[in-house]
Chains A and B, each alone.
Chain A
Amino acid sequence: MTHLLSVEGLTKAYPGVVANDGVSFSIAPGEVHALLGENGAGKSTLVKMIYGLVKPDSGAMTLNGGAYAPAEPRAARAAGVAMVFQHFSLFDALSVAENIALGMENPPRPSDLSARIREVSHTYGLPLDPDRLVGELSAGERQRVEIIRCLLQDPKLLIMDEPTSVLTPQEVAILFETLRKLSAEGTAILYISHKLEEIRTLCDAATILRGGKVVATCIPRETTAREMAELMVGATLMTPKAAGAAPGEVLLSVEGLTLGAASMFGTRLQNVSLDLRAGEILGIGGVAGNGQDELLAALSGERRAPPGAVLFRGRPVGALGPTERRRLGICSAPEERLGHAAAPDMSLTENAVLTGTVRKRLAGRGFVDWTAARRFAEEVIAAFDVRTPGPANAARSLSGGNLQKFVIGREVLQAPDVLVVNQPTWGVDAAAAAAIRQALMDLAGKGAGVIVISQDLDELMEVADRFCALNGGRLSASRPTAGLTIEEIGLMLGGAHDMEVAHAEA
């Protein structure tokens, strides 16, 4: 079989780090090829070179037998390479068709374009109305906009970066149907993901990167997820273990909480109620943007609610601010690490003060005790294996996973009675994610109540005792995680949008 794209000895160095070191692999037409690796393994750099965003220092690429060295994404697109990014570049206030036209060099007349969009979306089972505003679309539908934007170019190679992280299980199924169809027509797909089970069901081959080098290749169908994970990490993985404490008294309860959206395209919380008991982990699933930020803000105290809407040990705390809630024992860790959970340009010591003043006594009579603050930061760094030269380093100098370990560690070491975390392992490598989950389970094991808001359903199945779904600002009733199937969860999450059409096509 001839190769569509082959990459030979690609090397790209940034100051202080070799992102790609002699990387070689190749894809045949119609092949679905997985690119696996932890954060920082060099996957993004590699695909950016293929897409013309980054220029390799050395090495060569061939596409269709000819030399291929795109100077910019436009050249890559002209050569038949398209990419769907993890973070969408869409304008909320424009319609689907307008968004797609913006990305084209010579956009056709609007009516022709809408017809083309309908045709392509129909052919590939990706239902999408070209006239809807992007701001009203779900994350899954937004991704369809990006995919259709690529498909209109009739690509020979489609690169997808973490495409399923924002999708419900049913939406994932639709996406996979589309990808299989494309593959059958001869389009090669380069698929980047952390989710090993997905790769096993979808991909024909996998290239595993670690530290910028290709460490292994495998046939995913013939390899277990655990084996692949260990190849990625280069070490034996530990599985988080629950301490198994029996749930105790109700620590935190929310009763009929309704709260306006935080931003224009945010989601309004509607009549949300929940109970959290001592010693348990309550998992709240759902695609980000369905009220997750609002719920965390209402629980952390950033957004005030009617006093009686949030109760801590039976006491109304809805009107209290974050500091008072921390004093009582409610700690939290928001999703956005840089700029919300931590101040990017401040040192780790200063970031330790951000939430630690009350419970770790880092301030007395209004004055910050910087010695104690540094000691607390060092304690977090040591206990959570945060890789950094020391607490004087700025938060932004840490990798995502390390900063996340610091943020979670900072809250866990304050020994809260209630901990609320939003997307605790988003964009974090497998080893760090396992450590964070273990810490959350240990905390619950010691009798604290933990709420984990996450869109990673595997994560919730692993750590949570009870599961409920947050969709469109409404929270479902909770169900014990044990015995819950992925289909049932999908239905709790509101299923997929326009699933019926997709089935008709499939």
Chain B
Amino acid sequence: MIRLEKRPSPSRFWTATTPLLAVALTMVAGGILFALLGKDPLEALRTIFWDPLFHPQFASYSRPQLLVKAGPLILIAVGLSLGFRAGIWNIGAEGQYIMGAIVGAAAGLAFYPSGSPLIFPLMVVAGALGGWAWAMIPALLRVKFRTNEILVSLLLVYVAQNILASAAVGFLRSPEGGGFPGSRNLSQWSSSANPELITGTGMHWGVVAAFIAVIFAYVLMSKHLLGYQIRLAGQAPRAARFAGVEPGRLVVLCLSISGALAGLAGLFEVTGPAGQISIDFNSNYGFTAIIVAFLGRLHPVGILLAGLLMALTYIGGELAQFMLGLPAAAIQAFQGMLLFFLLGVDVLSNYRIRFGRRSVA
């Protein structure tokens, strides 16, 4: 018989170790999966985890992709984690990401083809505001009418996708695009471009913003009274009200931060790696960031590492499809295993496993 026994206090050792254990278990189970598919498991794992960074031929292309992909994931996930800690579930970061990109791009394109150095900062502010405003819809509906922010924020993603499509073929379509959908290329207009800051690293302003957000969130959660109130509201809502936390204020605040950060991520993406508003501009960063937030245990540093790991499995997964002919579904299953094991071994931080013959009392 195996029994689980609740620990009096969560184990610090296991809280720190479980992510590593989960990665190890994923490698074992993934290796078995790849072997069953007739591939050399070690080679497959090497292609996913090692080659994107160190392969003599591909690394020069794929290494910068790591930060390009991790940047928006981390930026969005850090914002989401604040709300998740407080028990406020913003599932619609994808929509806020799209709206940030549209509003930011529109604000910049309004001044096309000016060369003012103020345009990019203006776009950044507009991008944040776009995401913020989109997140305020579920926030205010919840505070005023007690609607469920999970549903409202999620459904607003589909609204945002339709606005994106209409922007790409309508009000933001490039007049010089020969009738093709899509806006002017923002990464090629010097006033709006968000270029690679250090050649060969993939570092752009969005990645810088992600790092700043990690530091900001870390300080907020561990040192600031607001971070304490966020944690308190998530763990013990009644105690939070007793401590003087206004639940409505917290809802607005958490959705503000996560919406603005998602909007920023969208803006940096549209001015940099994506380059333009197009129908398929969004690439599920907003949803994947939810996984990243939980993979990082809602902790800023954890999210930083989880974002990098997630980006690595995406890039490595693509590489494995291309090099070894692994099916895309196998890569998705592999990523699913990672999340499964992480949540599964999580039990160890709060419970102790006992082996013994005695039956459960």
Contacts and interface: CB of A to CB of B under 8 A. Distances in A.
Nearest to B236: A343
Contacts of A302: 241-242
A493 to B, nearest CB: 27
Contacts of A324: 244
B6 to A, nearest CB: 9
Nearest to B241: A302
Nearest to B238: A340
A393 B7 CA distance: 12
B204 interface: no
B114 interface: no
B8 A354 contact: no
A339 B226 contact: no
B59 to A, nearest CB: 43
Contacts of A368: 223-225, 228
B295 to A, nearest CB: 21
Interface in B225-240: 225-226, 228, 231-232, 235-236, 238-240
B238 A394 contact: no
B231 A346 contact: yes
Contact of B225 (A343, A344, A346, A366): A366
Contacts of B40: none
B9 A393 contact: yes
Interface in A292-343: 300-302, 321-324, 326, 332, 334, 336, 339-343
B239 A342 contact: yes
Nearest to A49: B361
B359 interface: yes
Contacts, number: 77
B232 A346 contact: yes
Given A55-B359, A322-B242, A354-B242, A345 B223 contact: no
B121 interface: no
Contacts of B224: 366-368
A20 to B, nearest CB: 13
A451 to B, nearest CB: 16
A344 B359 contact: no
A341 B239 contact: yes
B243 interface: yes
Given A341-B242, A344-B235, A346-B232, A55 B361 contact: yes
Contact of B5 (A15, A322, A342, A366): A15
Interface string B1-30: 000010011100000000000000000000
A54 B238 CA distance: 32
A195 interface: no
Contacts of B10: 345, 394
Contacts of A334: 242
Contacts of A54: 361
B242 A300 contact: yes
Contacts of A60: none
A346 B235 contact: yes
A307 B242 CA distance: 19
Given A367-B223, A368-B225, A393-B9, A343 B241 contact: no
A397 interface: yes
Contacts of A323: 243-244
A353 interface: yes
30 contacts: A15-B5, A301-B244, A321-B244, A321-B246, A322-B242, A323-B244, A324-B244, A339-B236, A340-B236, A340-B242, A343-B235, A344-B235, A344-B236, A345-B235, A346-B231, A346-B232, A346-B235, A346-B236, A353-B225, A354-B232, A354-B239, A354-B242, A355-B243, A357-B225, A366-B224, A366-B225, A368-B223, A396-B8, A396-B9, A397-B8
Give the top 6 A-B pairs by smallest Cβ distance, nearest first: A323-B244, A397-B8, A343-B236, A322-B244, A394-B9, A340-B238
Given A334-B242, A336-B238, A366-B225, 19 more contacts: A302-B242, A321-B244, A322-B243, A323-B244, A339-B236, A340-B236, A340-B242, A343-B236, A343-B240, A344-B236, A345-B236, A354-B232, A355-B242, A355-B243, A357-B225, A363-B225, A366-B224, A396-B8, A397-B9
